[in-house]
Amino acid sequence: MKAIVLAAGKGQRLWPLTENRPKPMLPVANRPILEHIVDALMQTSVTEVILVVGSNRDRIQSHFEDSYGHLDISYVVQESQLGTGHALLQTESYLGDSFVALNGDRVIDASVIDAVIERQQETDEPVMAITRVGQPDRYGVVELEGQTVIGLEEQPHPNHTKSDYINAGVYAFDPEIFAAIRRIETHGEQALTNALTTFIDDRRLEAVRYQGTWLDVSEPWDLLAVNNALLGTERSEDIISESATIDTSAVVKNPVAIGEDTVIHPQATVLGGVSLGDNVSIGAGAILKNTILLSDVTINSGTVMTDCIVGANTTLGPNTTVEGGRADVVLSETIHHDVTLGGLIGDNVAGGGNVTITPGTIVGNNATLDSGTYVSGRIEDSSHVQRG
């Protein structure tokens, strides 16, 4: 059994982190999203994984190379990001029989993969996994008749959803799906859900109901939520590196993840929901809560950070404050109201001392924040924020 994982998307809504790495390689619980997905595949009957890659694909290829555990790994390049259907279409020449297809940005259990494989083998029909979520209008709502999908609607009006089931992004297909993708009337993009809408006019599409882990990363605050969810399922001894150095006067409260060669200095406090990448330094007296730090980050003494994500090789000066809390955030010209995001700070940012970063702030890569500045809103790449 082969599995196709669609991992070519750039992830514009997760800028600036996705300028230097593909969205599926963003870390949650100190491991890339994509690694959690491949781990689930390892527990199934799948023996070969084809990763469809695109933006910053070298990050994926150097991480997985040509194998992962007992799985053989190969790659297909989607040169232009023209939708999930177009991405799947790139794998056509590699497939002759039934296969599994998954989105590369949703963390799931192995059980749902097994379930779609088993249903496809029982019925000889294509299969889609579906699940219930609290806000189905954020996703592709699925209309059902028994165990058959009879309709799909992308991001319907919140008050007019036809179902509380959504497309879980896990499928079992045969090669007929490729003809359906090619039939899409497109204006530059071929979405897999559009292909399925026409596909169900001609063929039965089976639905498998799934109630296990389903964690989607679409916006920055999703990273924090998924990080928290995964940390809560891990054993602390599995996610705190033996090479980490934690001063005896520091306070570390689970659930946390701490990477290799990371140092937590005296009197620092690391509270629940924190993931610290490799070679991170947490200064004396700093306080972190519900925060993700990528590798090679330096947080100086007295800094307080809540609800925050920080890119690689960034330094924040002493007594910096990243205010946690809720804010309205604009992503891709859409306003997201009242979301939990203290701040999203990109790679290679240089922050001086006594900087204040207000809730909902997004700071681009390679920015400089002078000491004593008050930072809010969206700060573009390579900006220099000065006082006054």
Residue with tokens 């600036």: 16
Handedness of CA 234, 237, 241, 246 (dihedral sign): positive
Q: How far apart are CA 291 and CA 269, in angstroms?
A: 12
Beta pairing, strands 274-276 & 256-258: parallel
Can you read off the two tokens belonging to residue 176? 């007929």
Q: How many CA atoms lie within 13 A of 328 on its CB side?
A: 4
**What pLDDT is stored for residue 158 in this prediction?**
62
The residue length of the chain stands at: 388
Q: Any idea of the CA torsion for 350, 313, 220, 233, to the nearest 10 degrees?
A: -140
Residue whose C-alpha is closest to residue 177's, from 80, 94, 98: 98
Confidence band of 155 (pLDDT split at 50, 70, 90): low
**What pLDDT is stored for residue 27 in this prediction?**
96
Helix (H, G, I), strand (E, B) or coil at 132: strand
**What pLDDT is stored for residue 159 in this prediction?**
62
Name beta bridge partners: 171.
101, 128
pLDDT, tens only, 35-83: 999 999 999 999 999 999 998 999 999 999 999 999 999 999 998 888 8
Tell me the residue type at 282: I
Q: How far apart are CA 77 and CA 51, in angstroms?
A: 8
Displacement of CA 106 from its chain's centroid (Å): 7
Residue whose C-alpha is closest to residue 252's, from 244, 121, 260: 244
**What pLDDT is stored for residue 365 in this prediction?**
98
Domains in the chain (CATH in brackets) are 2-218 (3.90.550.10), 236-385 (2.160.10.10)
324: Cβ contacts below 8 Å, ≥ 6 apart: 289, 290, 305, 306, 307, 308, 340, 342, 359
pLDDT over 90 for what percent of the chain?
74
pLDDT, tens only, 296-317: 999 999 999 999 999 999 999 9
Residue whose C-alpha is closest to residue 198's, from 85, 78, 52: 85
Helix (H, G, I), strand (E, B) or coil at 237: helix
Can you read off the two tokens belonging to residue 81? 């990001």
Q: Is the pTM of this model over 0.95?
A: no
Confidence band of 157 (pLDDT split at 50, 70, 90): low
Element (H, E) at 379: strand 378-379
Q: How many CA atoms lie within 13 A of 120 on its CB side?
A: 22
Helix (H, G, I), strand (E, B) or coil at 229: helix
Angle between helices 110-123 and 33-42 (to 10 degrees): 50
Q: How far apart are CA 45 and CA 111, in angstroms?
A: 11
70-74, 94-98, 236-240, 251-255: the lowest-pLDDT one: 236-240
CA angle, 352 then 356 then 245, to 5°: 65
Average pLDDT over residues 136-144: 81
Q: How far apart are CA 307 and CA 309, in angstroms?
A: 7
Can you read off the two tokens belonging to residue 382? 């390579």
> Is 70 exceeded by the pLDDT of residue 180?
yes
Burial annotation 333-343 (CB, 10 A radius, 16+ → b, else e)? eeebeebbbbb
Q: How far apart are CA 344 and CA 5, in angstroms?
A: 27
Categorise residue 14: left if φ over 0, alpha if ψ from -120 to 50, beta otherwise: alpha
Q: How far apart are CA 240 and CA 148, in angstroms?
A: 45
